[in-house]
Amino acid sequence: MRFVDEARITVRSGKGGHGCVSFRREAHVPKGGPDGGDGGKGGDVIFRASDKLLTLYDFRLKRLYEAKNGQPGMGKQRFGRNAEDLIIDVPVGTLLYEIDEEGNESLLADLTDADMQVAVCKGGRGGFGNERFKSSTMRTPRFAQPGGENEERTLRLELKILADAGLLGLPNAGKSTFISTISAARPKIAPYPFTTLTPNLGVLINDVGDHFVVADIPGLIEGAHEGQGLGHTFLKHVERTRFLVHILSAEDLDVESPWEGFDMLNDELARYNDELAHRHQLAVINKIDLLSEDDLAALRQRAEDDGRKVFFISALNGDGVEGLVNEMWRLYHTDTES
């Protein structure tokens, strides 16, 4: 199933059931009083966040969601049945925007926690039956109240991945290999740019049962903040992460300016959202197995001379991975305890 992170749908609540006009008629009571029952309430439309869903794919297949109407009232003071609410499950991290007739959007809800619910359309109230209107001055009311109208809204659903750590890097930096090494995630891996076209999620679990989620965000390129390459499609997923892991490939480094790739990524983040560029980051050089010992030693010395803390790893054979993962755990615990 392909990743889908936006969808546009229409939701409609149920109408209220009409009240009933009825009079008691029995063998020995030819002119009994009013006994029309109330109509039932229409169903609400409720969105619920589910941690069992990963995409908005199903909302591309179905565009209209309708709750049922309340049942009408009946004679002998029998009330119409209330309609069940329509509960629509969406992935955790889904934002709901209402679109008005002019095309303007307003945020209705941000479903950031599992089982979080929000009612976006209220069902119509049930109408009163004529039994409700009898009085000392009106003994035979021949009218009842109609059921309340329903509500309809056009919504845009947007999914932003919820993850503790976000992996960023240029295309073919080896992020997919890294996430498959440290977790049970099995993303598509191949030696060409833009292999990853959807965010992949991996979960790390330690010996005491703590776990945190790592998101492999597809490769960014220069101009991503303007929508170049995968651009805004995936930059928005970085916004919810606690910290970032910037991964560059050793084979793409410029000897004269080896940190240029990190600076470019930060520039793209700052242009998209300045707060992201100042979020805690880990700088990682991957694929050190492709370097000679002398070149690797020179890079380590250059990082020390430049005052940069850089992790040198090979996701392919595991070199340096444990130290990086330990630092990720440290940041995770620091963030959760603060």
Each residue of 128-180: pLDDT tens digit? 999 999 998 999 999 999 999 999 999 999 888 777 888 888 777 888 788 88
Q: How far is CA 238 from CA 69, 107, 111, 331, 333, in A?
A: 42, 19, 17, 17, 19
The residues facing 312 across adjacent strands are 285
DSSP string of 172-226, one letter each residue: TSSHHHHHHHHSS------SSTT---S-EEEEEE-TTS-EEEEEEPPPP-TTGGG
Query: Please, what's the largest Cα pairwise distance for the chain?
Result: 109
The pLDDT > 70 percentage for the chain reads 86
Place domain 6-159 in its CATH homologous superfamily: GTP1/OBG domain (2.70.210.12)
Is residue 307 within 8 A of residue 314, CB to CB? The reply is no
Q: What is the rounded radius of gyration, in angstroms, for the C-alpha atoms of the chain? A: 30
Give backbone dihedrals phi and psi of 140, rounded to 5 degrees, phi first: -130, 65
Average pLDDT of the residues in 264-278: 81
> To 5 degrees, how large is the angle CA 327–CA 332–CA 335?
125
Q: What pLDDT, on a 0 to 100 scale, did the predictor assign at position 172?
A: 75
Each residue of 41-91: pLDDT tens digit? 999 999 999 988 877 888 988 999 999 999 999 999 999 999 999 999 998
Q: What pLDDT, on a 0 to 100 scale, did the predictor assign at position 83?
A: 98
Each residue of 212-256: pLDDT tens digit? 788 887 655 444 334 443 334 556 667 778 899 999 999 888 888
Q: What pLDDT, on a 0 to 100 scale, did the predictor assign at position 64?
A: 97
> To 5 degrees, how large is the angle CA 220–CA 222–CA 223?
100
CA distance 258 to 236: 27
pTM, entire model = 0.68
Is residue 186 predicted with pLDDT exceeding 50?
no
CATH 3.50.50.60 fits 165-337, yes or no: no
**Higher-confidence residue: 337 or 136?**
136
Q: How far is CA 142 from CA 22, 31, 63, in A?
A: 8, 13, 42
Average pLDDT of the residues in 116-120: 98
- Domain limits of the chain? 6-159, 165-337
